[in-house]
Amino acid sequence: MNSHRAPPGMHPREFVAFIAAVMAVNAFGVDLMLPSLADIGHELGVNEANHRQWIITVYMVGFGAGQLVYGPLADRFGRRPVLLLTLAGFVGASIFAASSVTFPALLGARLLQGLMSASTRVLAVAIVRDGSSGRQMARTMSVAQMIFFLVPILAPTLGQLLLEFGPWRFIFYALGTFAGLVFAWTLVRVPETLPAERRVPISLTTLRANYRLTLTNRYSLGYAIAASLTFGGIIAFVSLSQQIFVDGFGAGDRFTLFFAICACAMGAASFLNARLVERLGTRLISQTAVLGLIALSLVHVGVTLSGVETLWSYIFFQALSMTCIGLCGANFGAMAMEPVGHIAGTASSLQGFITSIGAVAVASAIGQSYTGTTTPLAIGYLAIGVSVLGIVWVVEGGKLFHARMV
């Protein structure tokens, strides 16, 4: 029996595919251009390699900040009109990026893209939460993320293919085209999931009350912060991947393959989570994954500091670390949303802001420490794992692997 609760008129499989497509707008916005970072830097006069990371991190700043706006708007006006408006805005921002002639102009376009794509995270969570919660929500989000993780696997290869036919600007036109297709899908097939009687007027009093509830509930805030740390690990890997594989290991011709191996590990983790979460629970899976991340990172730090790191040892540790992170994401999100489901739009937006801005801070700290070795990434992952374990321990009242399961 299918446990994915779809809106009226949509088959459950179509609904999951649609949620994955909405999430993929943001994923393509991050990953499609990775093979072109060097070309962009060369044409726009970016001489410092670490500065090219801002093409990713500025986008994520917009992605985080925009989420504060879309939650209240979605709770007031419904999910569908907000999604349609922002998808159209993403198309416009992509055209702006494609026509940029200076690096600051490109960064401005990327900031705007991030602001527009911020709605995809808020609305994907809110739309799913409108019809399900707890383990059922975690399962639906895991299946959507399993499809969604095909994007990081394929995106760099697609980006490289686009570069075979034209300049890096083609990549931004492709981003606009994909967002336009999701816009058409939403317009034709997707109904509104928030009933009129559940809509909340926008007011400072209401926002203040909803924000207070989201920020003072220890599960809501704690798991949002935990998610920000693990998401920061993902963004750090994405931002550094071109430098590590191409500049560090000299594997430029195989960059997209090695990137895909690591991304595929996250997809496999989401598939595994989708199959197990309703039986084992979000806490058991995510806490086991955090301990796994710590153990892997300890060994990886030892390998890098001893000077015996190779391309294949890095891929081994990175893929397994991404597996552990993949087992945390959907579960942390579901546990953060569980106590605030009645204000899903606003709560999702505030949690998304915390997650994204925190991830940018984590990724920037790791990325700007890069000096040609994988040591900063290995140490960063160890710090992430230890910090997340501490947060979970506090949130759960000093009890790990206990009986209370979402």
- How confident is the prediction along the chain (406 residues), in pLDDT tens digits per residue? 345 567 777 887 888 888 889 988 988 998 898 889 889 999 999 888 888 889 998 999 999 888 888 888 888 899 999 999 999 999 999 999 999 999 999 999 999 999 999 998 888 877 877 766 556 666 666 666 666 667 767 788 889 899 988 899 999 999 999 999 999 999 999 888 888 888 878 888 888 888 899 999 999 999 999 999 999 999 899 888 888 998 899 887 788 889 888 888 887 887 788 778 778 888 889 999 999 999 999 999 999 999 999 999 999 999 999 999 988 877 888 888 888 877 766 787 788 889 888 998 999 999 889 888 999 999 999 999 999 999 999 998 887 765 444 4
Closest CA to 348 of 75, 93, 132: 75
Residue 211: closest CA among 198, 220, 219: 220
Q: What is the pLDDT, as a whole number, of residue 224?
A: 93
pLDDT of residue 277: 76
Supply the pLDDT for residue 146: 61
- Residues with Cβ within 8 Å of 325's Cβ and at least 6 positions away in sequence, in order, are 230, 233, 234, 266, 269, 289, 293
Which ranges constitute the DSSP H helices of 78-133? 79-98, 103-129
> Which CATH number does 12-188+200-395 carry?
1.20.1250.20
Instruction: Label residue 45 left, alpha or beta by phi (over 0 means left) and psi (-120 to 50 means alpha).
Output: left
Smallest CA-to-CA distance from 285 within 406, 114, 188 is with: 406
Contacts of 288 (CB under 8 A, 6+ apart): 327
DSSP class of residue 246?
Answer: I
Write down the residue that tokens 């500091």 correspond to.
305
Q: One-letter amino acid identity for 306?
A: S
Amino acid (1-letter code) at residue 380: G
- pLDDT of res. 102: 94
Cβ neighbour number for residue 273 with a 10 Å cutoff: 27
- The whole-number pLDDT of residue 139 equals 64
Structure letter (DSSP) for residue 247: I
Q: What is the dihedral sign for C-alpha 100, 105, 107, 110?
A: negative
Query: Distance of alpha carbon 266 from its chain centroid, rounded?
Result: 12
Identify the three-state secondary structure at position 255.
helix
Cα 44 from Cα 201, distance rounded (Å): 45
What is the model's pLDDT at position 362? 94
pLDDT at 144: 64
